[in-house]
A and B are shown apart, each in its own frame.
Chain A
Amino acid sequence: MIGFRARMAWIVLAIPVAGLALNAAATEPPPVTLRHLGPEVAPPVPSLHPDVELLDASARSAPARGTPLSLRATCGACHDVGHIESHHYHALAGMDEMVPPGLAPSGRAWDTGPGMFGRFDPFLGRALTPPDEEPIDLGTADWIRVFGPLHVGGGPAERSSLSGTRLDRIGGGGAGWDAAVLDETSGGRAVWDWSRSGTVELNCLLCHVRQPDNAERILALQRGEFSWASTATLAGMGLVARGATGYVWTTTPDEASGRVSARRLGLGHARSDNCRQCHGRACRCSDPVVFESGRDNWRAESGGSVFSPGRMNRSGMNLAGKEALDSPWDVHAERLLSCTHCHHAPNNPAYARGDPAAPAVRHLRFDPRRARESEYLYRPDHNFTKGDTAQGTAGRRFAGTMRGCRDCHDAESSHAFLPFARRHFAALDCNACHVPVVYPPTRRSTDWTMLDERKEPLRRHAGVDGDPNDPLSLLTGRVPALLPRRTADGATRLGPHLLHVAYFWVGGDPPRPVRRFDLERAFFADGRHHPELQAALDRNGDGTLTADELLLDTPERAEAAAARLRAVGVASPRIVGEIQPFSVSHGVGRPEGAQRDCGACHAPGGRLCQPQELAEYAPGGVMPSPVADSGVLLPGPVEPASTGIRLRPERCPAGFYVMGAQPLHALDWLGLLVLAGTVVGVVVHGSLRLRFGWRRRRSGGSA
């Protein structure tokens, strides 16, 4: 009996323990994500690509001769590199859309094009100096050194945007911005020796090898060793190394002839990791997502874009409410989509639906014609299908060529819960509900009107408490503004946008942005802020300028900075403020996380009617105005507020009727007045009837 009791006791005890164990196993599934499944060492890359012969510009073995690799010669042996380069908006960077200063779609008086080459970048504060203008800020060579890290080569980095001549053939007599660079000592012009630097060819390796050494490529560009940039991309593979005097080929004896296996190079189609080198460093598949601001992460910092399969609660970021955020950063990445599934070559036979950019075939619902594989491989169209965003200003003729959400998703069947579904689909970007919050810290403002002690502009981020680069800073997220935008198809839709405000000085007539060189010369002396500025800005008189003291938030303080600029020769300096909207187009979470609360929009305090905080202060009291080429229609004025400056929607919003969110119209007030008058009239009239009727009855009359 005792033995039986003991056995029963063990069973009774074992059941809950086993239950707990089973329960734990059920509630904590193994952390299966791509990140965890991803092997640490990249496996051998199966490649159908034949071995390649690394050739120099003279079509001879580059390793054998110790000369820079020429991808025009190497890849051009089989592919039409010339065609690819000249039909590639990534390479051209707006070079094919250049206009005289003042005629660019941005509306800026100094912009000469809509692309990275010619359009002022308020993040970097640099502008390509229009031809034959003084003083020079950026010539082509400096543009390559500054913007090259985000440019794939070719286009203006290889050919003159003015004459079309190869840059290394124009010598010192080139016109405009081609031959000149900024002399960082005098601020004047210096002649760039293109024959020594060479040019930056279209860098096929950057996108088509598995592990390109982008960091070494950037170093080569910044050193001005342009012709070696492609070669430097191979440094990480051990094919080339940086020596004391330059790059040295380190190929094996077998490869000395220049013939290298495609397997070793990892040659193949572009992967998301290739795109991420320029489009956002916060997006590595194989690492926990972390955020680092900076220009190599500008997509995340400006538009909040993170395209990663990693779960948010397993990221390296200190997200508010992180435990509950078990959605991937982008559900499409989690479901194994890569960038090129949406942004593919238009003539890729696997995806093609005709040439979307050609109006002649836009009437076709289905075009059965396809490029043959050989045709496609010889001349793949590198004007990749693209979306239509406020910030995608270059190659706008390709905007909207990408398959949209509804080309893949049957929205009608999955939105049965949504009243007026069609109306919502017509009026809203899908991202309006499917990206309700942007979690990475995003840039709210960049203020170039004063530089900090590191000679950097004053930057403010949204959605973060503290320094955005500090991993301990709490990320609270940012709710994008839903703003109407005119899209390429002529429709106006409400989409999520992040608004970035930039303040900077312009001088002269016509106005040009004050060069960074002049800002530093005006605001600093002997490595510290200029004494005149110290005197004007140092509120507490402690001899240093804190972050708050650097703000030019009164006319007097702005005038002190303007006086310094005049002192270094800037004519009539004045502050300009502009708003650049960034469309939010990535970071789509799981459907459960989409905006399903009707009240978020359909209520008087809904998102569409909420004022948008733009910046914490307005340097010089200047109200910023939107750039002209974003297509975004601001629904109200920008005005000062107690918290800085804000956008106040006047109508909620322009051109759209949002039930429940509309403020009462004058006609509503009139109607209410009529109704209220009727109520009062009925009550008064009825009361008087009762009173007089009662009197008559008392005096013996009839009611």
Chain B
Amino acid sequence: MSRPRERIRFYTPYERLWHWVQAVAVVVLVATGFALAFPARIGTDVFRAAVQAHNLFAAVLLVNAFLALFYNLASNLIRRYVPTADDLLSQGVRHARYYMFGIFRGEPHPFDRTPEKRLMPLQKVTYFAILNVLLPGMAVTGGWRYLADAGMVAAPGGLATLAVLHRFGAWLFAAFLLLHIYMTTTGPTLLANLKAMLTGWGEGEHGKERVP
């Protein structure tokens, strides 16, 4: 007999707004960045528009990221993004094991999600890397390139070096985007996690071990 499920509010309106703004920005940045790799094919008008869109959404993404940082610091919610040793070790292994085996056998998710602790161990590790390494890396290489193009700063190693690093980050972002979208389908139903991010509400189960 399955445990009783209840409707729980997972995401505040600000968190949802933040998420979707970031989502749109990342998608536009990946798409325009890809287009910019083929300037001869897209023509000067599209190229110019793609450059402007890329710069605009990069700014949107950065501002949004800084506002979120402020929000999480001010509300002391930043801690939920910081992985612990357990997240990397025993809990992480348990989490990975579920996606490697348990999910196929129809086992219940090993961790319960609550509004306070809604990030799973592997999610924490991934987000921690993205928010502390990948996103700043992209901002630095992209911003540096922007300023070097404007002749405001020098580009050590040439623009080519900055471009290669920026592109590498873009590949990783694209991979993350794909994985992230796929992982939304691993909730109680295929669209449950997506609905939760759209409406703020989702279903939780009582009686499971909670994420510490």
Distance in angstroms from A483 CB to nearest chain B CB is: 16
Q: Is the CB of A656 within 8 A of B158?
A: yes
Residue of A nearest to B167 (CB): A668
Does B77 belong to the interface (CB within 8 Å)? no
A692 touching B44, Cβ below 8 Å: no
CA distance A599 to B42 in the complex (A): 10
Q: Chain B: interface secondary structure?
A: helix
> What is the CA–CA distance of A682 and B180 in the complex, to the nearest angstrom?
10
Bound state CA distance, A688 and B104, in angstroms?
7
Q: Compute how far the CA of A598 lies from the CA of B39 in the bound complex, rounded to whole angstroms.
A: 7
- B75-126 with Cβ < 8 A to chain A: 99, 103-106
Once the chains bind, are A692 and B160 in contact (CB under 8 Å)? no
Cβ–Cβ contact B175 & A675, under 8 A: yes
Contact yes or no, A670 B168, CB < 8 A: yes
Contact A674 to B165, CB < 8 A, known contacts A422-B150, A655-B158: no
A670 to B172, CA, bound (A): 10
| Chain B residues within 8 Å of A677, by CB | 175
Please report the C-alpha to C-alpha distance between residue A417 and residue B48 in the assembled complex, in whole angstroms.
9
Min CB gap A296→B, angstroms: 42
- Say yes or no: B44 contacts A659, CB within 8 Å: no
Q: Is the CB of B160 within 8 A of A682?
A: no
Residues of chain B in range 8-58 having any CB-CB distance to chain A below 8 Å: 36-41, 43-44, 47-48, 51
B167 neighbours in A (Cβ, 8 Å): 665, 667-668, 671
- The answer, yes or no, to whether A391 is at the interface (CB within 8 Å) is no
Bits for A571-601, please: 1 = Cβ < 8 Å to B, else 0: 0000000000000000000000000011100
Question: Can you name the residue of chain B whose Cβ is closest to the Cβ of A660?
Answer: B39
Residue numbers in B under 8 Å from A668 (CB-CB): 164, 167-168, 171
Check if A667 sits within 8 Å of B168, measured CB to CB: yes
Interchain CA distance A420-B69 in the complex, whole Å:
33
Cα(A688)–Cα(B185), bound, Å: 14
Quick one: which of B36, B175, B182 contacts A674, CB cutoff 8 A? B175
Interface digits, A410-436 against B, CB 8 Å rule (1 contact, 0 not)? 000000011110110010000000000
A693–B37 touching, CB < 8 Å: no
- A662, B160: Cβ atoms closer than 8 Å: yes
Determine if B62 is an interface residue (Cβ-Cβ < 8 Å). Answer: no
Q: Is A196 an interface residue (CB 8 A)?
A: no
B207 at the interface (CB under 8 A from A): no
Q: Complex Cα distance A657/B171, Å? A: 19
Q: Quick check: A422 and B164 within 8 Å, CB to CB?
A: no
- Among A422, A659, A696, A701, contact of B39 (Cβ-Cβ < 8 Å): A659
Say if the beta carbon of A49 comes within 8 Å of chain B.
no
Residue of A nearest to B165 (CB): A667
Q: Give A682 to B185 CA distance when docked, in angstroms.
A: 11
A672 close to B171 (CB less than 8 A): yes
Interface pair A602/B106, CB less than 8 Å apart: no
Q: Closest CB of chain B to A87's CB: distance in Å?
A: 37
Specify the main secondary structure of chain A where it touches its partner: helix
- B37 lies within 8 A of A675 (CB): no
B155-200 at interface with A (beta carbon < 8 Å): 158-160, 162-165, 167-168, 170-172, 174-175, 178-179, 182, 185
Chain B residues whose C-beta falls within 8 Å of the C-beta of A657 in the assembled complex: 158-160, 162-163
Please determine whether B168 and A419 come into contact, CB atoms closer than 8 angstroms: no
Interface string of A460-502 (1 = CB under 8 A from B): 0000000000000000000000000000000000000000000
Is A689 positioned at the interface, with any CB of B under 8 Å from its CB?
yes
Q: A674 with B171: in contact, given A418-B44, A419-B48 (CB under 8 Å)? A: yes
Report yes or no: B178 in contact with A667, Cβ–Cβ below 8 A.
Answer: no
Across the interface, name the chain A residue whose C-beta is closest to B185. Answer: A686
CB < 8 Å: which of A682, A692, A696 contacts B178?
Answer: A682
Q: Is the CB of A417 within 8 A of B106?
A: no
Chain B: minimal CB distance from A682 (Å): 5
Bound CA span A662–B161, Å: 11
Question: B152 → chain A, closest Cβ, in Å?
Answer: 11
**CB–CB B159/A417 < 8 A:** no
Instruction: Please encode chain A, from 666 to 701, with 1 for each CB lying within 8 Å of some chain B CB and 0 for all others.
Output: 011011101101110110011011001100100001
**Residues of A contacting B105 in the complex (Cβ-Cβ under 8 angstroms):** 692
Residues of B within 8 A of A418 (CB): 44
Q: Are B40 and A674 in contact (CB under 8 A)?
A: no
Which A residue sits closest to B176, measured CB to CB?
A: A678
> Would you call B209 an interface residue if the criterion is a C-beta within 8 Å of the partner chain's C-beta atoms?
no
Q: Given the interface contacts A419-B51, A602-B40, does A693 sit within 8 Å of B106 by beta carbon?
A: yes
Q: In whole angstroms, how far apart are the Cα atoms of A668 and B165 in the complex?
A: 9
Known A657-B158, A692-B106; judge A671-B172 contact (CB<8 A): yes
> Distance (Å) between the CB of B175 and the closest chain A CB?
4
Cβ B149 vs Cβ A420 within 8 A: yes
- Asked if A245 is at the interface of the complex by the 8 Å CB criterion, the answer is no
Residues of B within 8 A of A79 (CB): none
Q: Does B4 contact A (CB under 8 A)?
A: no
Give the 9 A-B CB pairs with smallest separation, nearest first: A671-B171, A599-B40, A657-B159, A657-B160, A678-B175, A692-B104, A667-B168, A603-B40, A602-B39
Question: Can you list 21 residue pairs at the A/B interface with Cβ under 8 Å?
Answer: A418-B44, A422-B149, A423-B149, A598-B43, A598-B44, A602-B40, A655-B160, A657-B159, A657-B160, A660-B38, A662-B160, A665-B164, A667-B164, A668-B168, A670-B171, A671-B168, A677-B175, A678-B178, A682-B182, A689-B103, A692-B104
Question: Knowing that A657-B160, A660-B40 are A-B contacts, what are 11 other residue pairs whose CB atoms are under 8 Å apart, sorted by A's residue number?
Answer: A423-B151, A598-B39, A598-B43, A657-B163, A668-B167, A668-B171, A670-B168, A671-B175, A682-B178, A686-B185, A701-B106
Q: Which residues of A line the B interface, CB within 8 A?
A: 417-420, 422-423, 426, 597-599, 602-603, 606, 651, 655-657, 659-660, 662, 665, 667-668, 670-672, 674-675, 677-679, 681-682, 685-686, 688-689, 692-693, 696, 701-703
